Chain A
């Protein structure tokens, strides 16, 4: 009776030790990413093993978007792909981070999709809107309302996880939803006659998609992060070069389980930035055409709408020097 039990416990302890030692030995930079074209693009570098060529040890972990920010907040990741607005939300609620790289800005992929019969943002007055409260979709909605002389009080918000918004709109329980691709496109497809009454193309620069790194990892591995950024621009070149674009799209499409032709439309609503373009957005100006300006406006929105209480020190959240070093 005793021996098999001992053996089992031994094996168990062994497994546990193995897990721990594996963690202690190699410490790659852990990066969380999720289903957004500007981040799925990292897949090209992973598939081509460009990180290895660049001599940087990284480990990409695929998540649902909110789960990826949770994992980052729990200290399980060195960096996470998120929007600049969500970087502030994540930072304000405890997980400080520094944006070192701008992947893209949303150029139409984020939308307010309204049921048939609602043709403009103004028509949303008094209606129910399904949105993931406190995150990027919420910000887009508030911006849309403000531009039309309305505020959050003019609509009724229903908290819906972004990836369930198409079904929720189709169910008829809400009159509009806020989502990004692929969910926004699916909502348009599932509800005939539905239209995008507002999208990020109406306010380019409202939503930047970035790589946000924990301050401690950035301080300890600065050179490694520069290498990561260098690999990113290799990816951007690969996507932009007409000769290799098809291959890039194929890799990205397979990450999310779509046909390349279908995925191409999602990339269109995402303005993936070249190094020169990105440098321009790292300039410190006030409007939406700067990461600083956009983040400042997001911050004001977030405070005004009580997403969090205290204004965030924007300068601490952005480190342009990594991109400048390339």
Chain B
């Protein structure tokens, strides 16, 4: 293993790649742990343990360090009971172990009321919204994108408008979607659709255009006609790239989830996040955000694995 770590445009061996992948997660985690557990690194606040004689201090309150020092000094010089406190990070930065606990208890806390849901049920709701939004978008977006990339007439007829529409922020359609589609999942699905569809058409049509023209020329030389070209040359030629595009687009669909779920009734993982944030339970908020990350990454890994099974001819490594 004497290969160089830094070699221009040269792939590292599998073992090194795995090590680096693990490190890419460990380093941020380590930074987070250091900031959380080493008080001298940051900890700009003081949590009041014993208010002493400071009139406005309450047990459990967080104050800025200089405020605490000032009151401490004041109480000492006046001969009153000084406050006691412990240095801590702001409430919005809980320590890793707190978030880990929150992650665990969020899943294990049973619903207390009849119409309350387990966390995994809320998550299932959210995933369903994403699924339908993305599915409906792909149902129209993928064929349209391929046609636009293949036939100039389809492209000229659609793309100028789509280029215009994709700049309209999906959340802006929130109130409209509620008025037309009701308050439950439908307007949320619509927001995901609007957020995904227009990008999807453009991305897929671009991918289609990137198909090697030599392939088309060769096929035409061999006598292939319009429809045959589309189904026998274009489609097989771009299918692996389209699949990769879809993986990226699915990630985009996820980014619209939170705004989508803000619309209409409070539901899904967003309800959990906003409600917990309102009461400053930031450990739960981080836990929920991490859950979304894990679901996203896992889905992508599964899709990548599936892709390698479905398209074994795909150039190894280069696209995954």
Residues on A facing B (Cβ under 8 Å): 8, 12, 19, 32, 35, 43, 46-47, 49, 61-64, 67, 70-71, 74-77, 163, 166, 182-183, 186, 189-190, 192-193, 250-251, 254-258
Q: Report yes or no: A192 in contact with B263, Cβ–Cβ below 8 A.
A: no
Distance from B131 Cβ to chain A, minimum over Cβ atoms (Å): 12
Q: Mark B223-267, 1 if CB is under 8 A from A, else 0.
A: 000000000000000000000000000000000000000111110
**Alpha-carbon distance A62/B122, docked complex (angstroms):** 14
Known: A47-B114, A192-B64. 20 other contacts (CB 8 A): A19-B186, A32-B183, A47-B113, A47-B115, A62-B265, A63-B183, A67-B263, A67-B266, A71-B183, A76-B178, A163-B274, A182-B278, A182-B279, A183-B278, A186-B279, A192-B61, A192-B62, A193-B56, A251-B113, A254-B116
Distance from A80 Cβ to chain B, minimum over Cβ atoms (Å): 11
A61 and chain B: residue at smallest CB distance:
B265
What residues of B have a CB within 8 angstroms of the CB of A192 in the complex? 56-57, 61-64, 67
Q: Mark B86-123, 1 if CB is under 8 A from A, else 0.
A: 00000100000000000000000000111110000000
Q: Report yes or no: B266 in contact with A76, Cβ–Cβ below 8 A.
A: no
**Contact of B280 with A by CB under 8 A:** yes
* Nearest 5 A/B pairs, CB to CB: A74-B179, A254-B112, A192-B63, A61-B265, A76-B183
What residues of B have a CB within 8 angstroms of the CB of A74 in the complex? 175, 178-179
**Alpha-carbon distance A250/B280, docked complex (angstroms):** 20
What residues of B have a CB within 8 angstroms of the CB of A76 in the complex? 178-179, 182-183, 264
**Alpha-carbon distance A76/B114, docked complex (angstroms):** 24
Whether A46 contacts B115 in the complex (CB less than 8 A), given A62-B266, A186-B279, comes out as yes
**Alpha-carbon distance A135/B63, docked complex (angstroms):** 32
**Contact of B275 with A by CB under 8 A:** yes
Can you identify 7 A-B contacts, CB atoms within 8 angstroms?
A47-B115, A74-B179, A189-B280, A255-B113, A257-B275, A257-B281, A258-B279
Q: Which residues of chain B from 6 to 38 have a CB within 8 Å of any chain A CB?
A: none
What residues of B have a CB within 8 angstroms of the CB of A64 in the complex? 262, 266, 274
**Alpha-carbon distance A124/B67, docked complex (angstroms):** 23
Q: Report yes or no: B183 in contact with A35, Cβ–Cβ below 8 A.
A: no
Q: Which residues of chain B from 278 to 295 have a CB within 8 Å of any chain A CB?
A: 278-281
**Contact of B206 with A by CB under 8 A:** no
**A190 is contacted by which of B115, B139, B271, B280 (Cβ under 8 Å)?**
B280
